[in-house]
Amino acid sequence: MSEEAPDDYVNARISYVGFVDQVGLEGVVILKSEDGKEFPMRAFSGEVARHISRFQEGDKGAIPTIYNLVEELAAMGDLLLTEVRVYQSGTVLRANLYFKTRKGELILRNYRASDSIALAAYYDIPIKVRKSLFEEAIDVK
C-alpha cells in the first residue's frame, strides 16, 4: 500500500452491528459517514460482532484476550490508541492502528478491520474509512 494522506479518509461511526445469519456465526457492521453514506462490512466472526455491540453499549468489563493483550502492551509502553483507518487490500478489509507515544506516533499496519473496529469501539476512538469505500454507497440521510 502506498503512503496515505489524511484526506484520503472520512470519519465514520458504527451505525449498526448485527449478524448475516440466524445463528450469529457471521457478523456485519454498517459504518456511516458524516454525509450519510453507509458502508456495510461483513465476512467476520459473529463473536467479534458481539464484542463490538457490547463495547458500544458500554459493557467493557470482560475484554477478550487478544484485545486485553493490546491494552496491556499499550499501558506498558505508554501508548494511546488514537484512531483506526480502514482500507481495502486486495479482496479483504484491513486497518492501520494509530498510537500516540512520548516520541511521536506509532502506526501498526495491515490488521484485520473487524478487530480494529472492535478496538475502536472499546476505546471510543475515531474510525476513519478510505473515501473510495463509500464511493458506491447509497446516501441515507
Please report, for the chain, the start and end positions of each structural domain, with discontinuous segments joined by +: 7-134
Give the integer Cα–Cα distance in Å for 126 and 116.
11
pLDDT at 126 over 80: yes
Locate 58 and state its grid cell. 458500554
Q: Smallest Cα–Cα separation from 10: which of 64, 79, 83?
A: 83
Q: How far is CA 117 from the centre of its chain?
A: 2
Give residue 75's identity as a one-letter amino acid code. A
Q: With H, G, I as helix, E, B as strand and everything else as coil, classify residue 123.
A: helix
Domain 7-134 has CATH 3.10.690.10: yes
Tens digits of residue pLDDT in 55-110: 999 998 888 888 888 889 999 999 999 999 999 999 999 999 999 999 999 999 99
Locate 20 and state its grid cell. 448475516
Rounded to two decimals, the pTM is 0.89
CA angle 109, 12, 115 (to 5 degrees): 40
